[in-house]
């Protein structure tokens, strides 16, 4: 278990059914099937909503649901998604899909304000208060990148489909954010109609019945949020507690990896006490800051015996970890939170944490396969002797990142 930001332990509740999904090839069909079966409501949040290729199939499912009377709410991030194409906006409006943009990007000068850096980075969906999706996968085709075009190999990422108490927690949190965003536009619209309240009540009753049936699965899980209010450090503390309790093995796959002092120390101490620590990180250049700023921390980790594998076939976008999968207390997490300052200090994030041997072993199998078949292990000596130009770029990026953190008023 992990301490919350308030110092309380996170409550892992039994009775969950949590299924691992890799990539959009597994995620989109499952998500669309549940959307097509929706009768009452769909709550949907994503950082990127891109309708290129298979991304359009998700938009179509939302439109179909709204057209048959389902209450459909979609929230996207103003920076990650950018301007919504007029054609899509028109289709959403015609069908009745309600769309809101979180922290829309205004004049460029406004982006100099640290509060404008806060992003809606989580990827969540709740259907009929019965099933929840959570992970790192955007509405973005795995074989396409907005900045790099067509990809030869699919993006490496994960999500989960979950039933159980986490569904209500996700729905409540998403509902609060939705009305907070709506209040900025029109406070009067915060009043739900009696008909909608009745629909929500009916959905809750159906969801409760289905979750009771799921209890036979016996999976223990928790849903962790990261925001700028009460849950400022909840996800980071969950990682710290799990790493500190590790006895056999730690495997972390993270797209943008720049851990703070506490996380670095926890990983180093784990390696020194004999725990096998393996990191699967981004090996393909995507963005200057994310690629270079993280590398100055690699040296101390490698020196401590941490094994670092760089994933190169395509873009690694996963934000997952599995600890002691074959031990007495397996722990695994799948979510949207990177281990870097933006995710851990500024962005709204969501991670599902699961204490279940079968789930942990399933995730571990995927990560081990990726390390063995698609990962290039980093050599400590080769890393220390990398070209001067690369080392300069690494330290310049790290210095810029530290300066940006300082501007926000946070410590990391």
Lowest mean pLDDT among 101-105, 113-117, 187-191, 223-227: 187-191
Q: Please check the confidence at residue 5 and state whether its pLDDT lies above 50.
A: no
- The answer to whether 296 touches 398, Cβ cutoff 8 Å, is yes
Average pLDDT score over residue span 336-356: 95
Predicted confidence at residue 378, as pLDDT, reads 95
d(CA 189, CA 98): 12
Q: What is the pLDDT of residues 284-312, one digit of tens each?
A: 888 888 889 999 999 999 999 999 999 99
Give buried/exposed letters for 96-119 (b at 16+ CB in 10 A, else e): ebebbbbbebeeeeeeeeeebbbb
Q: Please check the confidence at residue 93 and state whether its pLDDT lies above 50.
A: yes
In the structure encoding, which two tokens stand for residue 272, read together? Answer: 């020194």
Which helix (H) or strand (E) element contains residue 301?
helix 298-303
Going from the N-terminus, what domains does the chain have, and what CATH number goes with each? Answer: 13-217 (3.30.870.10), 222-408 (3.30.870.10)
Predicted confidence at residue 189, as pLDDT, reads 45
Q: Please check the confidence at residue 6 and state whether its pLDDT lies above 60.
A: no
Predicted confidence at residue 8, as pLDDT, reads 61
Kindly report the pTM of this predicted structure. Answer: 0.90
**Helices and strands in the chain, H and E counts:** 13, 17
d(CA 377, CA 309): 4
357 pLDDT band, cuts 50/70/90, is: very high
- The answer to whether 83 touches 52, Cβ cutoff 8 Å, is no
Q: What is the pLDDT of residues 189-213, one digit of tens each?
A: 444 444 455 555 555 555 554 544 4
């Amino acid at each position: 278990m992990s301490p919350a930001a308030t110092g309380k332990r996170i409550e892992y509740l039994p009775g969950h059914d949590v299924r691992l999904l890799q990539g959009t090839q597994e995620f989109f069909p499952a998500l669309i099937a549940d959307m097509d079966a929706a009768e009452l409501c769909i709550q949907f949040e994503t950082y990127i909503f891109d309708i290129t290729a298979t991304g359009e199939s998700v938009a179509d499912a939302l439109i179909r649901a709204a057209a048959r009377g389902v209450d459909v709410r979609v929230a996207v991030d103003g920076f990650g998604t950018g301007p919504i194409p007029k054609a899509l906006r028109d289709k959403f409006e015609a069908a009745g899909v309600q769309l809101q943009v979180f922290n829309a990007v205004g004049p460029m000068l406004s982006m100099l304000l640290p509060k404008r850096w806060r992003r809606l980075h989580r990827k969540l969906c709740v259907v009929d208060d019965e099933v929840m999706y959570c992970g790192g996968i955007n509405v973005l085709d795995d074989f396409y990148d907005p900045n790099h075009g067509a990809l030869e190999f699919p993006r490496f990422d994960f999500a989960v489909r979950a039933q159980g108490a986490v569904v209500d927690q996700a729905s409540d949190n998403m509902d609060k954010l939705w009305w907070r965003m709506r209040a900025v536009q029109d406070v009067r619209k915060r009043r739900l109609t009696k008909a909608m309240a009745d629909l929500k009540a009916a959905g809750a009753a159906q969801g409760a019945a289905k979750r009771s049936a799921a209890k036979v699965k016996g999976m223990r899980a928790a849903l962790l949020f990261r925001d700028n209010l009460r849950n400022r450090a909840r996800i980071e503390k969950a990682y710290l507690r799990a790493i500190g309790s590790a006895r056999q093995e730690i495997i972390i796959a993270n797209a943008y990896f720049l851990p703070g002092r506490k996380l670095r120390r926890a990983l180093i101490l784990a390696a020194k006490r004999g725990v096998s620590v393996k990191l699967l990180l981004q090996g393909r250049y995507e963005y200057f800051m994310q690629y270079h700023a993280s590398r100055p921390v690699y040296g101390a980790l490698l020196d401590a015996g941490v094994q670092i594998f760089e994933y190169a076939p395509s873009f690694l976008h996963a934000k997952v970890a599995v600890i002691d999968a074959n031990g007495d207390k397996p722990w695994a997490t799948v979510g949207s939170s990177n281990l870097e300052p933006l995710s851990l200090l500024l962005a709204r994030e969501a991670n599902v944490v699961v204490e279940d041997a079968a789930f942990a072993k399933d995730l571990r199998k995927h990560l081990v396969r990726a390390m063995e078949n698609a990962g290039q292990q980093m050599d400590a000596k080769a890393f220390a002797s990398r070209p001067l130009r690369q080392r300069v770029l690494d330290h310049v990026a790290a210095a810029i990142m530290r300066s940006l953190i300082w501007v926000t008023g946070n410590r990391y």
